[in-house]
Amino acid sequence: MTGPKIGLIDIETAPLNADVWALFDQNVGLNQINVEWSILSFCFKELHAPKRDVLYMDTQGNPRDDSGLLPVLWQIMHEFDFLIAQNGKRFDMRKIRARLILNGFEPPSPVKVMDTMLMARKAAAFTSNKLEWLSTYLSSVQKSKHKDFPGHELWAECLKDNAKAWASMRRYNIPDVLSMEQVYLNLRPWASEHNIAAYTDHEDRVCPICLSHDLTQDGHYFTGVSQYNRYRCNGCGAWSRDRFTINSRDKRKSLLVGV
């Protein structure tokens, strides 16, 4: 095993259809729902794969029927160790699981989610953690604004099975994944909890963030009672440390801690 299988995913959903009596601050009862939400389209790409290998699928022809998408989404979740998604922990993965459960699928193998929105929030105080803002500064691919079908109109026209709207949805969905990939790679060295070294068979040191062997021992990392060798990755720039202390037994015995 040379490393984990990592992919990027983004879904678009068809909205609920419900009866309401006003535009603001509505509580919709279950008996007001006419049509349930479903998955409208998704885009998937393996990390570092060329753009030509992007997988895009939608429900054109029968917009409310996502049955053709679900087996593919299940297989992606089953095969990959990590999936990267913007707001993926709260939205994309939970929505996919909901549709799988409702359609009788068994659980796929467990997959870890790396959420670029949460990575950005934890790393720094950006003006915004939305992909539209992050992609402006951390990616050469900008999030599409689907100007030909602005706002909710794109989803409404796709539900009418408008071929031009579906073409616009494709142009909207795919750049989200391409821009998210670059955002992820720029945030990754700042994510100390992102450790994938255990997914390799290497017995020598590798960067736990990007698996590069090009490491430089640079200073030491200290806890309250221990000292460790510290390393800088010359590939992605991330910092890491040894798991085992370099303190001698006598040094460990002599250390005092506050009470």
Q: What CATH number is given to the structural domain containing 32?
A: 3.30.420.10
Amino acid at 141: V
Both 183 and 91 in one domain: the answer is yes
- Domain closes at, from 143, 167, 190: 190
Instruction: Give the chain's mean pLDDT.
Output: 94
pLDDT of residue 150 exceeding 80, the answer is: yes
Both 104 and 153 in one domain: the answer is yes
Query: Which tens digits make up the pLDDT trace of 25-75?
Result: 989 999 999 999 999 999 999 999 999 999 999 999 999 999 999 999 999
Both 120 and 90 in one domain: the answer is yes
Both 231 and 114 in one domain: the answer is no
Name the packing angle between helices 163-187 and 131-138 (round to 10°).
60
Both 89 and 167 in one domain: the answer is yes
Residue 197 is assigned to a structural domain of this protein: no
Both 68 and 129 in one domain: the answer is yes
Rounded distance between C-alpha atoms, residue 160 and residue 157, angstroms: 5
Both 69 and 113 in one domain: the answer is yes
Rounded distance between C-alpha atoms, residue 206 and residue 198, angstroms: 10
Q: Are the C-beta atoms of 213 and 204 separated by less than 8 Å?
A: yes
- The whole-number pLDDT of residue 201 equals 85
pLDDT band at 147 (very low <50, low <70, confident <90, very high): confident
Residue 259 is assigned to a structural domain of this protein: no
Range 30-54 burial, b when 16+ CB lie within 10 A, else e: eeeeeeebbbbbbbbbbbeeeeeeb
- Domain closes at, from 190, 210, 240: 190
Both 127 and 164 in one domain: the answer is yes
Residue 24 is assigned to a structural domain of this protein: yes
Total residue length of the chain: 259
Residue 1 is assigned to a structural domain of this protein: no
Residue 132 is assigned to a structural domain of this protein: yes
**Domain membership of residue 91 as a residue range:** 6-190
Number of compact structural domains in the chain: 2
- The whole-number pLDDT of residue 2 equals 80
pTM of structure? 0.92
Both 162 and 222 in one domain: the answer is no
Residue 59 is assigned to a structural domain of this protein: yes
Both 15 and 51 in one domain: the answer is yes
Residue 248 is assigned to a structural domain of this protein: yes
Residue 195 is assigned to a structural domain of this protein: no
Both 18 and 104 in one domain: the answer is yes
Both 186 and 246 in one domain: the answer is no
- Domain closes at, from 190, 220, 244: 190
Rounded distance between C-alpha atoms, residue 189 and residue 183, angstroms: 11
